[in-house]
A and B are shown apart, each in its own frame.
Chain A
């Protein structure tokens, strides 16, 4: 088994510049920047599912897109199978995109309403094309069946399908090129509970059938934990903890992770259990706290935390945390 990770993210940051007034920009030289992703380093091994969790403004979706260069990283490098994606020319990038795909959250926004399902699913083949019409039709037919849709659906349009079915179409489109790596950006969040279960099961099966590697992004921690091998926790653009799923659930080390896991209402828990509630809201990414970004809400914050930002360190093999308390 090849020991090099399939995906290697090194110190990636993504900053968004916001519009400033003329005076602010040229007289005061003030530029408002949202540091959506700050200095993230992680790797994903072939065949693995890395889950990425965090709340609003943590930057998880932005990171997923930055890896694929759907957002250009402001700093840092991304390596796919040892090739540097961030240094590629448009042509080289196009070639590598065959192997790196994305499934989007919104099954209503991510499909072109004016194209038939067949056209939508076939488009990636045409873009990267070298197949005959017959070969393309066969591939479309095959993937459509694999995702649980029927051949008669192919001539229909997105609006004729339910959310769950549309998500299947999005999955078919992502997988038709038989990629190696798929970024799944909140793929089930917009669906009813019983349909979520169907799509989760489908994604697990397809991963096995196609030997895929997933980056699974979601705010629903139970879903992420079910599908993932390892989980990374983000807060305000930074990676605060990363570990194997069972290790993270049994032994969360970062105060934020502890509160996050504790906040999830559990089905088996009849009647409320006392929990530590975080004070206030998540700070604005425009104006993040100094030092450790979590210190303003941390139940265990020390003086040091408001001054110096902690570094991500490996405390237990395979378990990295960014916290002064350790």
Chain B
């Protein structure tokens, strides 16, 4: 998939000015506030952000899983050309798990602790794949073994009857990926797929996602706060802060030539193994309160480049080339 080709195709997923708000006791939390993202077929997109950035809520919204007190207030989410924000729960079930699959950070939360793995895999297969459903239990079992082996679970046949807690964290993450991929979705959304895992297992899981992505010609979204993961595994990167996108571009550009002060700040605050002598410069302060947002740049209080001109709502705008940035101080 050449990068030039991507621009000529229509996006697989198109999020347009999405607003998802939560009505809490302390007020309305604008968790996602005007987020627009395009994802093309076969692409791998990194979504970077910290607590309160809205990165997880954005994709939970895509999956139609926002519950009270949260609500998608406005904006559209188009998947394969259709606006899925208008879908009924029934219509969503045809997409969720089948065309768009999502894995979560904590596999123990995603997997049912009181159901055997084989039954959890069967449930998904039967729900989404009528053909295999009609072929019966043996065919389903065979497919389940294939899937478990594909994701690197040793002795798969014997382990089908085990429960989630009998697997290690890394294995559970892989089982979750296996379940997510069981119906060969067009889009895999991996929410912090490596955060709870050991480094050597992280490498295995990311390698697995990369390989399967090529095999199935699948698009992947990796939501993470780990800039190393983004650098190595993604084609494009979106940086989110306090419910908005602050920077968006080719990964190479965002990492090697960051534009937004937050992105720059993040990159300057992480220790680099290849340059340990280099002092880190932390971003001062904390993310602002998402209730009662002042009408100014949301990064204002922590930005070392701030000026009086930043005391207004800042729009995102295109940069020369393929990127976008939400900052008035960057020359176009």
Contact = CB atoms under 8 A, between A and B. Distances in A.
Interface of A: 55-56, 162, 164, 192-198, 200-201, 219, 221-223, 225-226, 245-246, 249, 259-261, 263-273, 275, 277-278, 280-282
Contacts of A245: 276
Nearest to A245: B276
B318 interface: no
A194 B232 contact: no
B282 A266 contact: no
Contact of A272 (B233, B255, B265): B233
24 contacts: A55-B198, A55-B199, A193-B266, A193-B269, A194-B282, A194-B283, A195-B50, A196-B269, A197-B270, A197-B282, A201-B282, A245-B276, A246-B276, A263-B203, A264-B273, A265-B203, A265-B229, A265-B233, A266-B231, A266-B272, A267-B227, A267-B228, A272-B233, A281-B168
A218 B171 CA distance: 22
B200 A278 contact: yes
A202 B221 CA distance: 34
Given A197-B280, A226-B280, A246-B276, A281 B255 contact: no
B interface residue count range (under 10 / 10 to 19 / 20 to 34 / 35 or more): 35 or more
A225 B267 contact: no
Given A193-B269, A278-B204, A265 B231 contact: yes
Contacts of A268: 231, 255-256, 272, 274
Interface of B: 50-51, 152, 154, 168-171, 198-204, 206-207, 210, 225-229, 231-233, 251-252, 255-256, 265-267, 269-274, 276, 280-284, 286
A10 B300 CA distance: 53
A200 B266 contact: no
Contact of B273 (A196, A266, A275): A266
A219 B199 contact: yes
A164 B267 CA distance: 19
Contacts of B273: 221-222, 225, 249, 261, 264, 266
A265 B286 contact: no
A270 B282 contact: no
A226 B271 contact: yes
Contacts of A196: 269
Given A261-B273, A263-B200, A270-B251, 18 more contacts: A219-B199, A222-B271, A222-B272, A263-B199, A264-B199, A265-B206, A265-B226, A265-B229, A265-B233, A266-B231, A266-B273, A266-B274, A267-B272, A268-B231, A268-B274, A269-B228, A273-B232, A277-B207
A260 B50 contact: no
Contact of A225 (B232, B271, B282): B271
B232 A265 contact: yes
B220 to A, nearest CB: 13
B203 A266 contact: no
Contacts of A275: 203
Contacts of A270: 231-232, 251-252, 255-256
6 A-B pairs closest in CB distance: A265-B228, A226-B271, A197-B269, A197-B282, A55-B198, A263-B203
B201 A281 contact: yes
A271 B237 CA distance: 13
Contact of B232 (A271, A277, A280): A271
B231 A192 contact: no
Contact of A226 (B152, B228, B232, B276): B276
Contacts of A223: 271
A272 to B, nearest CB: 5
Contacts of A225: 271, 273, 276
Nearest to B198: A55
B322 to A, nearest CB: 15
Contacts of B281: 197
Given A200-B271, A201-B282, A193 B231 contact: no
A198 B281 CA distance: 8
A221 B199 contact: yes
Interface centre among A221, A222, A265 (most CB of B within 10 A): A265
A6 to B, nearest CB: 24
A200 B281 CA distance: 10
Nearest to B168: A281
Nearest to B52: A192
Given A55-B199, A259-B200, A280-B154, A194 B228 contact: no
Given A192-B225, A269-B232, A282-B198, A277 B204 contact: yes
A263 B50 contact: no
A193 B203 CA distance: 20
